[in-house]
Structure 1
Amino acid sequence: MSQAADQIQQVVQRALSEFESLSASELAPSSVMTQMITTLSRATAATAAVAWMPNRRDGSQMAVARYGQSKIAFSEEGLPLASVIETVEQATTDNKPTIVSPDQQIFSGTELAKTTQFFIPMDAAGHVMGVLQVIHSAELDPKVYRQYIAFTQHAARAAGVYLARRQSQVLAEESASHASMLKVVTQLLSEDKPHDLIHELANAARPMLQAQRVAVVGYWKRKSDVQFSDAVDVNRKAVLVRAVEMLADTVRQREVPMTFIRHRPLEDEDDALGPLLEDIYSLGAAEVVCMTLIRHEDRVVGVMLVEYASTDQADQATPNQQVICQQAGPILDRAIATWYRPLRRTSRVLGAWRDKPLSFTAKIIAAIVLVLSLLWGVFFVPAPMYVRADARLEPAHLGVITAPVEGRVDKVVVQTGQPVKAGQTLAAIDDTDIRLRLVEVNKAIDGEQVKLEAARAKGDAPAVRTSELRIDQLSIRQRILQRDLDRTQVKSLIDGVVLTERLDQLEGRTVAVGDALVHVADLGHFELVMEVLEEDLALVENALRNERPVTVDFLSRAWPDRVQHATITDLGALSPTSGPDEANQQHVFRISVPIELQNMSPQLVLANPTGRAKLEVEPASLAYRYGRRVWRFIQMTLMF
């Protein structure tokens, strides 16, 4: 019996020691109260326990800690039973223990009717901080009520001391928080520009929240503005800004605060945000990222993203973060509205002039001088002017050898890329038919000669004239056939290189007079052919008429690393013909100029490569350079 009493005494002493240590704890109230009622319930063999405290907002009672089968003190909806609340409030008002035995009718109709309950106020220097509700079975002997109440009062007294100390700390922290918040609001109200305001907000929020870093995203332009509380490495700033912007846009679209903890799996709908969060984690030392909307009424004017070092720190600072955003929302909205109203800007300018007239006047004079200098430079200082046009490279001399006679190509005696001379045979057309016809004509002439001699011998003048006329006709026919026979040898007209490919396919093909057979080009000389818009042609012509050479730079699309140069010196380069340009809905005029190819093999330009040409014409002012098309449009439409 004495051994059991010793064990009970040891349990009680350990519980009392734990109560004393918990009264000096720095942990959160919910954690301390849970440990306290757990120790109390185990030491007294209670079936359940609840720690009640008044809500500071509305004075209602709320359960800050629960143990065991405490659900019997609540309804099915999870709300405290009205009879429990009445008893708790009565114990608070009387500031003395309340015992509810099973034979009382206070909790009739509930499971609590079959229990014995103690309601012990948590008192600190006469001030009730809350009530401990300890629930025992109905079989608890009334003779031990006094001992149980005394033991529970020890726990309630320790809880009261702890809660009173925590309340003092909370009030001090709230006072400091209010002072810091007042300071932040004052600083924000002193800023006029939204850009400077969000930068000041980020700097002020960081020490208040004890955060690793604070970023504020503002929305008043097409592109959001991002400001950080700390300097960001230039090499990493672009990545960090992009991650912050996209996360803030997500919060803005969903219109709810969001919190992410490192190494904790994301929800399915947040999987796309994983790489962005990794960028933030890798560029800082944060374990928790909390994002809160900065809004005024229904308008979202910004988002605050705060990086915390731990979840405990985030839990403590998140309420303050929300308060800061609530206070900053109207201020930022007012700054945006003020900054983007022209009349408000004018009023700020006039206010600056009243405050510092000399300084403001000097700035105005400097601004006027600067504007006049810029206008002088734009309208009167000549600058190099260029005309740009599509262009292509072509051989200066290109010979297209056509079929001189009709017939079948008998053979081709040259190959693609072979150099040839003017007059050199390139191909031969089958001359069998021509030779046969020539033989027939020769025989016919010989026969007519015999007839002519016989007619002369007879003195038959009509027959003589007929034979002579027939011989003349046959002679003309003979010369034509002889010329066609000579033309069956297709010869080059110029010195150059054979360009035509697949020459072997010409053999055996029947051609008509004028059909193209072989292309021969002189690769020693090339020309640049440019198609200049009709509105730019006058610029080139005026430069040439004023005896100013027009320099040309050509950049081929096939070889963009090789710039070729040429110079136009006379008006003969301008072609009188033009053609339509559907892309610009204008006509283009052709300008040709000889060009010396630099660092480019002539064989590379056999395909007539295209590109862009830049022609430097007479210098003109920047106003004329960029406004001439508008001025021409006005002249052609409104003034003509």
Structure 2
Amino acid sequence: MTQPASNAETSTPGISAESKDQVTLYGVSSGYRTGQGPSQAWLGRLCGMLDGVETGLLVIEESANTYVPAGIWPHGTRDVTHLGSAVQKCLICRAGNTQPGKTDQTILITWPIELNGRLHGAVALEVTQRPAAALQKINQQLSWGMGWFESHFWRQKSTDDSRQLERAAIALDVAALAGEHPKLEDASLAIANELCKRLACTRIAIGMERKNQVHLIALSNSAWFEKKSQFVTEIENAMDEALDQRKTIAYPPIEGLTKGIAVANKDIAKTGSVLSIVLWSAGRGVGVITLERAETRFMLADVELCQATASLIGPILDMKEDATHWIAGRSAQQLRAAAQALVDPRRPSFRYAAAFLLAFLIFISVFEAEYRVPAKAVLEGEVQRAVVAPFEGYIAQAYIRAGQTVKHGQLLAKLDDRDLLVERQKWLSEFEQNDRKYRDALAKRDRPQVRILVAQVAQAEAQLTLVEEKLARTAIRAPFDGIVVTGDLSQMFGSPVERGKLLFEVAPLDAYRVILKVDERDIRDVAAGQKGTIVLSGLSAESMPLEVINISIAEAEEGHNYFRVEAKLQHAPPRLRPGMEGVGKISVGERTLIWIWTHRFIDWLRMLSWNWLP
């Protein structure tokens, strides 16, 4: 225990002026809340045990650093102001002291009530003058008397803890009950019924805030109610009254509870009592729970229990309320939250981010950049010559495959010529035979026979010439310098071929064209003569300029319509090969950045609205 100082000038060192300003003592001159309680009884018993006590004052902490009289002796004394200054000094110094009394024949003795390092109050006694030994006895009696306060403190703390545990258990049970129901209305009805049973209420109503007005969603022991009835309107008005004031409203008023306007709550109380408690979630009022009793009044313990329960079920009901909102409702809620964050001084980074976003939107809405239409691209030869079978036959040899470069006249493949050689020998023999007959008839001057043999000789000669030409055409040769684009006969030796069958395709190496597959959504911006660039997959480090020369008809591919756009390369590197693929981009003019990034989405919305709207 703290020992008293020897005189009025002695105090505990280290007490700053700031701590002095934080101690408030009031009600000393009026005997605030003193009566026949345990504190008054203790002070009376203490003063009765000591000799020469003229007046006594006991102050107890009511709230943080605020102290009020809890006992005055003799009982009925209304003015102990001269003890108030001594008590306040004791509270500031947190130490006992003695100082001169109101008269020369009295002394003031003060003693702090400090338990577990916390100051709970102080006691001051005005006693008659006496020797130091007698004063020491009084100090000893005060020290012993503090044991009662310590015992009272622990009893009170034990009682408060048990009440808190009881409140916590009920609040957790109700919160668990709310979590068992997925829908807001079902959860609210279960909460109302459970609280109505536990708190012995006549009726409990739960409402949620929607568009700055509370709407009733559940009544205890009522599965259905008429939303536009008079009594529902009265309950909602009482809920609005509590939510607007952002505080708990009780009628009749409860001692120890901050009073508020209770006009609407009084209307529904009639001869009973009403208690309206705000439901909170993330620092905002999301609803109100209103409790009614027909006979008994609500006490402060009931308020504390309901507030503890409301602190748990508020976020749960708010979450279930959000789950009932559609896109429009959630968007409005998010906008309100964003607006609140903008004006919140604790969130400057949000304002900076909003300002940056606004500046960015303005920038992309004003700044223009070159818009380029992307398209898949494939490289083709400007001319592709087809090498076909000149007549029916069989593959004898194949010397070249697709991908190889060839020179003009280079042998690509050879057809089987054995049948042609036999036929050539046949017509050669017939030609020689008819020629001998022709000479014999000419020697015999057989003119009719000569004319017949002349025709036969000409026929044999023509057939022989035809066979010779076929033999020459059995050698398939390259029509010009270039690269073989398609054709591989290496696995077809001995296979028959028909006349006109495609054997090879040859493209030149010095002239190419680009085929761009432009999406039908972008073809409106493409026109002949526009410039662009192409990057091929095999030459990704090099971009090549191109120019659009023709727009062909649309083609369907993989479920999409594409337009075949032809373009020519303005510069063709020697490493190019027909069939190379890549991505080409056609420059179509200047557009704003926001248009470039959003025009596809806007077009999609237009088509969707056109498709669905009547």
Shared fold (TM-score, shorter chain, > 0.5)? no
Q: Higher helix share goes to which structure?
A: 1
Normalised by the length of structure 2, the TM-score is: 0.39
